[in-house]
Amino acid sequence: MKAQYVGDIGDFGKVLILKHLAGLGFKIGVNWVLTENDERADGKHRDYINYRGRDCLCCCDEKVFEQILPLAKKEKADRRIEDLESLIRTFSNSVVFFSKKYMGGSARKAVEEEAFAQLSDTVADFVFFDPDNGVGGEQGASSKHVYLSDLKRYWKRKQSLLTYHHLGRTGTHDAQIGELKRGFRSAFPDGRLYTYHLRRGTARVYILCVREEHLPNILDRDFIPAIEPLKITKTDWAKVGRCCEKIHSVRSTPAAPPPSSSRPGSGRR
């Protein structure tokens, strides 16, 4: 995660998933696996705030939509992870965040130890990991990945897991998700896996790995209606036929038309 991503369409999806899990009664810990901003255009997918009519995404969750719009409109230099945390706290007062920046190489271990201590099983029975690039295999030292060896430590002390993974261009999305699931099944053979593949903006998948003792919270409630429009393309969603005619809070109010005139020749051009 980078502060420059705050408010993009990827953030909208992750907030909707976290709201659903909080609503199931989980105490949530969030490790942003935060890294420094860079000069790349990542986080640019913000045009969703201007969608109108059949494209509008307020149907996902109108309250969250209204809350995230001000964040989405901020310039890159003004985006702050604290604003996203404040939004999440509106539906989960007990959530705990680890927001210290990760470094690569040998410096990574110290930060990971600090995160592990802060997101303890006494404050969170569910931990979300949001690395830039996702799961990097069994182990490693990149600041842009989380590793199965990291996740196993949380699992061992009886915490369930939600992990972001960026889908690349090497192979189909289904093949990449299948490989990811095989890795999780091998690492957590006693866990129940759920995946949420979001296609808007940059393609991504969230993999939910639930411990047996937490299954009563989620059984038959793993379906998340709020993210359904984000699981298909904008074109396919438009075909569904829902339509919103609202002017949402941070959108510009259209200028009033000029008063009509009785002069000859006046009228619409």
Q: Specify if 266 maps to a domain.
A: no
3-state secondary structure of 28: strand
Maximum Cα interatomic distance, the chain, rounded to a whole number of Å: 82
What pairs with residue 2 in β-bridges? 35
Q: Specify if 159 maps to a domain.
A: yes
Q: Contacts from 96-100 at CB under 8 Å and sequence distance 24+?
A: 96/28, 96/29, 96/30, 96/123, 96/124, 97/29, 97/30, 97/32, 98/29, 98/30, 98/31, 98/32, 99/32, 99/34, 100/34
What pLDDT does residue 41 have? 60
What pLDDT does residue 253 have? 35
pLDDT in tens, 24-74: 999 999 999 999 987 776 557 888 888 877 778 888 999 999 999 999 999
* pLDDT tier, 201 (very low <50, low <70, confident <90, very high otherwise): confident
Q: Specify if 171 maps to a domain.
A: yes
* pLDDT tier, 233 (very low <50, low <70, confident <90, very high otherwise): confident
Query: Among 153, 228, 202, 154, which residue's Cα sits nearest to residue 45?
Result: 202
Work out the percent of the chain whose per-residue pLDDT is above 70: 89
CA distance 145 to 130: 9
Q: How many domains does the chain have?
A: 1
Q: Are 164 and 11 in contact (CB under 8 A)?
A: no
Range from 15-29, 38-52, 165-179 carrying the lowest mean pLDDT: 38-52
Mean pLDDT for all residues in the chain: 87
* pLDDT tier, 262 (very low <50, low <70, confident <90, very high otherwise): very low
Q: Are 108 and 41 in contact (CB under 8 A)?
A: no
Average pLDDT over residues 121-147: 95
Greater confidence, 169 or 158?
Answer: 158
Task: Give 59: exposed, middle or buried? Use CB within 10 Å, 0-12, 13-18, 19+.
Answer: middle
CATH number for position 197: 3.40.50
Provide the angle, in degrees to the nearest 10, between the axes of the packed helices 108-118 and 148-156.
30
Looking only at the bridges linking them, the beta strands covering 96-98 and 126-129 are: unpaired
Q: Specify if 263 maps to a domain.
A: no
Element (H, E) at 10: helix 9-23
Q: Specify if 48 maps to a domain.
A: yes
Q: Specify if 70 maps to a domain.
A: yes
For residue 256, pLDDT beyond 70 = no
* pLDDT tier, 90 (very low <50, low <70, confident <90, very high otherwise): very high
What pLDDT does residue 106 have? 92
Provide the domain limits for residue 27.
3-240
Output the CA angle 194-67-252, nearest 5 degrees.
Answer: 130
3-state secondary structure 59-119: CCCHHHHHHHHHHHCCCHHHCCHHHHHHHHHCCCCCCEEECCECCCHHHHHHHHHHHHHHC
Q: Specify if 258 maps to a domain.
A: no
What pLDDT does residue 241 have? 62
Q: Specify if 255 maps to a domain.
A: no
Query: Among 97, 114, 203, which residue's Cα sits nearest to residue 150?
Result: 114
What pTM was computed for the model? 0.87
pLDDT in tens, 114-128: 999 999 999 999 999
What pLDDT does residue 63 have? 93
